[in-house]
Amino acid sequence: MPQPELRICLADDDLDASLRLDARRGLTSRPKHLPMRLHYDGRGSGLFGKLTEQPEYYQTRSERAILRDRAREIAAALGAEPVSVIELGAGRAEKIRPVLDALAAAGRLDAFWPFDVAEGEVRDVLAELATAYPDAHLGGIVGDFTRHLAHLPDHRDTRLVAFLGGTFGNLPGPERARFLLDLREALRPGDRFLLGADLVKDPRVILAAYNDAAGVTAEFNRNVLHVLNHRLDADFEPGNFEHVVTWDAPAATVDMRLRAMKPMEVDVAGLGLEVRFAVGEEIHTGISVKFRPAELEEDLRTAGFAPSASWTDARANMGVFLAEAV
C-alpha cells in the first residue's frame, strides 16, 4: 500500500510567527482582541472536547445527528460517480466519518484528504483511516484553510469539500465572503461543498451553550491566556479575567470576551511588551455567527455555488448545506 501524500503548507516557524503577530497586534489595539484559533493548543482542544459533552452545548450533538441519520442521502445527492473528499479543519476526522462510511459502502469513496494545521494530528488520522478505508487513496494537507486552498488535490472525479462543526461562523463577515470566493476559485464546476452551520434560534438556547453550568466554556475562553503564558512567556493570571458572552440580535452573532476584574500590568516577555488593563477592560476573543438558511444560501450563490440540498436536526438547531460549484 503506497504511503499517503502529505502536503506541508505550514511549518512550526509559520505558526510561531503568526502567534507573535496576532498577539502583538491584538494586545496593542483598542479594543484589545485575540483570534479564536489561539484557543486550540493541546489543552484547549481537550477543553473543547469536554465542552461538546455539556448538556447546554447542542452544536456537536445536533450536527452529528444530521450526518449520522442523513449520510446515505448526502452520499446519494453527490451523484453516482466516485468522490474524493477533503475535510477542512478535520481534527480527528470524526465529523465526516458517517459520510465517508456511506460512500465507502456504495463503493464510491475514491480518496480522503484531511486538511488541518497540526501535522501530527493529520499523520495520526491518515494512519487510522488506512485501516478503515483500505481501498481509498489517502493524503493530507497541513495548512491554514484561509490561505492554502490552492493546494487542494486535483482528482479527476468529483471533489467534495466539507467544512463542518460550525467553524464557518467563527469567521467575520468579510473573511467568510473571501473564504467562499477562494474556495470557489480552487474548485472545478461540478465539485461540491458541504457546510455545517449553526442556525438562528431562541437566544436563551444559544447563550446557554456559551455559559454552561459547569464553567467549561469559561475555562476554554481563558485558555487563550494560558497559551500566551506558555508560548510567549507572559504572566497573565487567567483567574483575574471574567468570561463574558453577549448576543447581538441584529447581527445574529455571539461575542465572546474576557473582562479584567482588577487593574493589571501584564508582562509578555516573549514580545518585550507590557500590557496594562483597567478594571472592566475587555479582550475580544471570538465570535460565533448564527445563520438563517435563506441568507446563507444567498451568500453561497454570490460566491459561485448553487445550493442543492440541506438538512437539519429535529429541533433545527444546526444545518448541513450542500452546494455545487457552477
Virtual torsion, Cα 305, 306, 308, 311, nearest 10 deg: 50
Are 185 and 241 in the same domain? Answer: no
Are 126 and 145 in the same domain? Answer: yes
Residue 29 inside a domain? The answer is no
pLDDT (0 to 100) of residue 43 = 83
CA distances in angstroms from 169 to 136, 164, 224, listed in the order given: 31, 10, 19
Are 104 and 124 in the same domain? Answer: yes
Residue 4 inside a domain? The answer is no
Are 187 and 229 in the same domain? Answer: no
**154: confidence class by pLDDT, cuts 50, 70, 90:** confident
Are 51 and 135 in the same domain? Answer: no
Statement: residue 1 has pLDDT above 70: no
Residue 75 inside a domain? The answer is yes
**128: confidence class by pLDDT, cuts 50, 70, 90:** very high
Statement: residue 2 has pLDDT above 90: no
Are 83 and 166 in the same domain? Answer: yes
Are 91 and 194 in the same domain? Answer: yes
Residue 74 inside a domain? The answer is yes
pLDDT (0 to 100) of residue 39 = 84
Angle, in degrees to the nearest 10, between helices 97-105 and 58-77: 20
More confident of the two residues 10 and 280:
280
Residue 13 inside a domain? The answer is no
Phi, psi torsion values for 110, nearest 5 degrees: -80, -40
Sheet-wide strand order for 109-116: 5-8, 137-142, 109-116, 83-88, 158-163, 192-198, 318-325, 305-312
Statement: residue 215 has pLDDT above 70: yes
Q: Which residue type occupies 211?
A: N
**10: confidence class by pLDDT, cuts 50, 70, 90:** confident
What average pLDDT score do residues 167-171 get?
95
Q: Which residue type occupies 181?
A: L
Residue 127 inside a domain? The answer is yes
What average pLDDT score do residues 226-233 get?
95
**89: confidence class by pLDDT, cuts 50, 70, 90:** very high
**38: confidence class by pLDDT, cuts 50, 70, 90:** confident
Residue 265 inside a domain? The answer is yes
pLDDT (0 to 100) of residue 295 = 97
Give me the CATH number covering residue 157: 3.40.50.150
pLDDT (0 to 100) of residue 222 = 96
Ranges 46-50, 191-195, 241-245: which has the least confidence = 46-50
pLDDT (0 to 100) of residue 14 = 86
SS3 of 307, please? strand
Structure confidence by residue, pLDDT tens digits, 232-261: 999 999 999 999 999 999 999 999 999 999
Pairing of strands 32-33, 282-289: parallel
DSSP assignments along 53-71, one per residue? TSTT-HHHHHHHHHHHHHH
Residues 6+ apart with CB under 8 A from 144: 9, 10, 117
**Grid-cell match 491554514, residue found:** 144
Are 157 and 223 in the same domain? Answer: no
SS3 of 91, please? coil
pLDDT (0 to 100) of residue 155 = 76
Segments forming the whole domain that contains residue 298: 58-200+291-325
Are 176 and 216 in the same domain? Answer: no
**212: confidence class by pLDDT, cuts 50, 70, 90:** very high
Are 268 and 120 in the same domain? Answer: no
pLDDT (0 to 100) of residue 58 = 97
Evaluate whether 268 touches 228 at the Cβ level (below 8 Å).
yes
pLDDT (0 to 100) of residue 41 = 75
Supply the mean pLDDT for the chain. Answer: 95
Are 69 and 157 in the same domain? Answer: yes
Query: What cell numbers appear for 154 in the block?
Result: 486535483
What average pLDDT score do residues 259-279 get?
97
Are 127 and 276 in the same domain? Answer: no
What average pLDDT score do residues 29-37 get?
93
Residue 16 inside a domain? The answer is no
Structurally, how many domains does the chain consist of? 2
Statement: residue 140 has pLDDT above 80: yes
